[in-house]
Structure 1
Amino acid sequence: MPTPTLLRIRAEGDPFALGHTHGTERAAALRAFLDDSLCRLNRILPKPVTLAELAPRIADYRTAIEQAVPDLARETEGLAAGAGITLTQAYLLQLRREIMGYRKVPTMGDCTTYARSGTAAHGLPVLAQTVDLNGDLDDQITVLDVAPAASGRRSLLLSFGGLLGYLGLNSSGLAVGLNLVLAGTWRPGVPPYLAIRHLLDHADTVEEALAVLQSLPLASSRSITLCDAERAVWAEYADGQWRLGDGPETTHTNHFLHPDLAPHDEINVFARRSSVRRLEACRERLAGLPSHASAEDHFAVLSAPPVCVADNGDIRRERTVAAAVMLPSRGELHLRPGNPAHHPTQVFTLR
């Protein structure tokens, strides 16, 4: 299969302008995605849903987002206008993972994430991860290059299907990644993907990002990995509780690592085995990786099983749909779309 050339959308200005540029450039693709079994939700969920059925729930999330991160609410409005879709549809694109919720079913994997900083990074901090999702979302990958007028920062982000954020880095030298962890009650609030975008717009360092992150009403459980030149941290969240783990090297998969949250883990036994196996493999490979390793060296860590999860043909199962290596001090986002073992690296830079 030929490697797709990833679309890079450059946008600057006020929030509505950012969203409008994004929506205009992706208009046909976003409308097609919405028409594809409602963003493929109805090919994944156990029971089909309609947009009309979801509308009240989406409205509750919209209210929470408008209150907590109004700039991103305005950007979502711009996305809708640019793409020629309704505002409810634009919010569905932001909330797709929240609508799916979490299911206690066997799975092969989810994201594997690690970061190196300080002495462990030989002066070149790195945050790297696989992106494991269901829904065959390889064809929805976009790179956002955004410069909000009020921020003073510029960010490079990996996006899927109209998302305003997923993972990325900013011009201050901060990188942010994430892992799905399952616990507590998922409720209307700020989706973690939008929270990550908010961090990149408003924080320069790990310390600042943690303060911003802990002030947000997060909608669902996650582990967020943060990295700058001096510090690497994972921050686990469930039901209003945050727990941290510090570097200089951090690794995370899909089970809680902090002893305060581990007893509340809802991951099923099959997924936990996969998560533990991937964590152990990642740590073993990192132990043999020098501090001055290149981005391609890091892709070698991400591209082999069990860290890389192959496609088994079931759209409902998570598999590796991309891998990212971020070098925040250089402003570089290195991406391999699809299975990273099968595609070359594409490099995006802020400079």
Structure 2
Amino acid sequence: MSAALEVPVIECVGDSFAIGYQHGERLAARLRAFLADGLGRLDRLLPAPVTPSGLAPATIAYRRAVSAALPDLAAEVEGLAAGAGITSEQAWLLQIRREIMGYQRVPTSGDCTTYARLGSGAHPTVLAQTVDLNGDLDDQIAVLRISRQDSPRTVLLLSFGGLLGYLGVNSDGLAIGLNLVLGGDWRPGVPPYLAIRHLLDTCATAARAVEMLRTIPLASSRSLTLADPVDSYCVEAIESSIHLVAQGDSVHTNHFLHPDLVARDELNVFARNASIRRHTACTSTLAALPSTAGVPAHFDLLCQPPIRVPDHGDIRRERTVAAVVLTPADRRLHLRPGDPAHTETLAFQL
């Protein structure tokens, strides 16, 4: 195992604009270079190159939708732009990259594998997942510690390429992970990454976060796994309709599990078969994992094939660019950045 990759840790304190400004200022050079690389590498991921002017209508539509639903996060995007020395449009582009990519039908062997296991006694609840992304985003990882001046709640967040939200845990012990699922109409609304950040900002429990999620006009389909020290929920979202898949222990990959949504699954056959294999492997391996297993054992699980997806040398294909083990009871985020089979564990705590 090699040494851990360097991961910036950014302390963000104050009002929404200030939090965004500190994030952008710390990563200014990296974000500008990322945008200069084919608009955040979109040119290498999409069938045809894109331009800022061509993306302007979508950027405006998403900005309006987020500003109406989550004005605090809209203000944070503006702070990100000011701090990084980029335009407002570029800062919004960083938030909606995945929405712009839409349904990716490139045959692939991976996207995220996520599971939750409720604890008992001295053995705490665990929410763990691989992070499988295309675009070679290992170099865009950052960890944010966020303290809003109007709230006693703090948030520990894993971010990629200037995203205000991705996955994480808050000081109440609410942890949230996610999986891509493909279905329904993707449309201007709140990107699920920003919705996750809003839930971490505002909710103390997994149950409350599920209730709050039902009020957010989501832009695209996702599965979320939400856990606190005593409870856990796995839900699937499609066109802002939230379907409960499981309460308690759960495993999710990238195909719909709720019976009402199976027929609406748009995952291509290659990706679906890979998703089923990962789901089966994770379910069986987790069942054999002792309840006394610690964080290293959970990383060992996440590094097993086919759960861990290696680099095939194609930037368009998803691969495992990080693995995370969240422990809500002690508000810790354990991270292996890059290929988790070859990097050491970093631990962050609120």
TM-score (norm 2): 0.98
CA distance in 1, matches of 2:4, 2:347: 14
- Aligned 1:50-65 pairs, distance under 5 A: 50-65=51-66
- Aligned 1:54-93 pairs, distance under 5 A: 54-93=55-94
SS of 1:235 mapped into structure 2 = strand
CA distance in 1, matches of 2:175, 2:160: 18
CA distance in 2, matches of 1:83, 1:292: 44
Deviation at residue 41 of structure 1 after TM alignment: 0.3
Deviation at residue 211 of structure 1 after TM alignment: 1.1
SS of 1:211 mapped into structure 2 = helix
Deviation at residue 116 of structure 1 after TM alignment: 1.3
- Aligned 1:87-236 pairs, distance under 5 A: 87-119=88-120, 123-236=123-236
SS of 2:110 mapped into structure 1 = coil
- The residue aligned with 1:297 is 297
Q: Deviations over 1:33-79 (max 9, x none)?
A: 00001100001100100011101110000000000010000000100
SS of 1:40 mapped into structure 2 = helix
- The residue aligned with 2:254 is 254
CA distance in 1, matches of 2:31, 2:106: 29
Q: Deviations over 1:120-160 (max 9, x none)?
A: x8541110000000000000000011011223211111100
- The residue aligned with 2:10 is 9
- The residue aligned with 1:18 is 19
Kept in 2: contact 1:117–1:247 (CA 8 A): no
Mean alpha-carbon deviation: is it higher for 246-255 or for 188-197? 246-255
CA distance in 2, matches of 1:41, 1:109: 19
CA distance in 2, matches of 1:134, 1:246: 28
- The residue aligned with 2:242 is 242
The number of equivalent residue pairs is 349
Mean alpha-carbon deviation: is it higher for 317-326 or for 239-248? 239-248
CA distance in 1, matches of 2:293, 2:56: 48
CA distance in 1, matches of 2:218, 2:231: 23
Name the amino acid aligned to 2:129.
Q
- The residue aligned with 2:45 is 44
- Aligned 1:247-286 pairs, distance under 5 A: 247-286=247-286
Identity across aligned pairs (percent)?
A: 59
CA distance in 2, matches of 1:198, 1:82: 21
CA distance in 2, matches of 1:212, 1:291: 31
CA distance in 1, matches of 2:13, 2:291: 35
Name the amino acid aligned to 1:160.
F
Name the amino acid aligned to 2:101.
M
Residue 324, structure 1, aligned to residue 324, structure 2: yes
Kept in 2: contact 1:80–1:90 (CA 8 A): yes
Residue 311, structure 1, aligned to residue 282, structure 2: no
Aligned CA RMSD, in angstroms, stands at 1.1
Q: Deviations over 1:171-228 (max 9, x none)?
A: 0010000000000100000000000000000000011101111100000000011001
Kept in 1: contact 2:13–2:146 (CA 8 A): yes
Gaps of 5+ in 1: none
SS of 2:50 mapped into structure 1 = coil
Name the amino acid aligned to 1:53.
G
Kept in 1: contact 2:207–2:233 (CA 8 A): no
Deviation at residue 261 of structure 1 after TM alignment: 0.6
Name the amino acid aligned to 1:291.
S
Name the amino acid aligned to 1:23.
G
CA distance in 2, matches of 1:79, 1:241: 30
Deviation at residue 108 of structure 1 after TM alignment: 1.1
CA distance in 1, matches of 2:210, 2:276: 26
SS of 2:13 mapped into structure 1 = strand
TM-score (norm 1): 0.97
Name the amino acid aligned to 2:295.
A
Kept in 1: contact 2:234–2:246 (CA 8 A): yes
Moved over 4 A (4+): none
Gaps of 5+ in 2: none
Mean alpha-carbon deviation: is it higher for 241-250 or for 125-134? 241-250
Deviation at residue 239 of structure 1 after TM alignment: 2.0
Mean alpha-carbon deviation: is it higher for 41-50 or for 232-241? 232-241
SS of 2:9 mapped into structure 1 = strand
Q: Deviations over 1:300-319 (max 9, x none)?
A: 11011100000000000000
SS of 2:40 mapped into structure 1 = coil
Kept in 2: contact 1:106–1:271 (CA 8 A): yes
SS of 2:217 mapped into structure 1 = coil
CA distance in 2, matches of 1:50, 1:12: 34
CA distance in 1, matches of 2:247, 2:325: 17
CA distance in 1, matches of 2:187, 2:213: 17
CA distance in 1, matches of 2:240, 2:307: 30
CA distance in 2, matches of 1:24, 1:263: 45
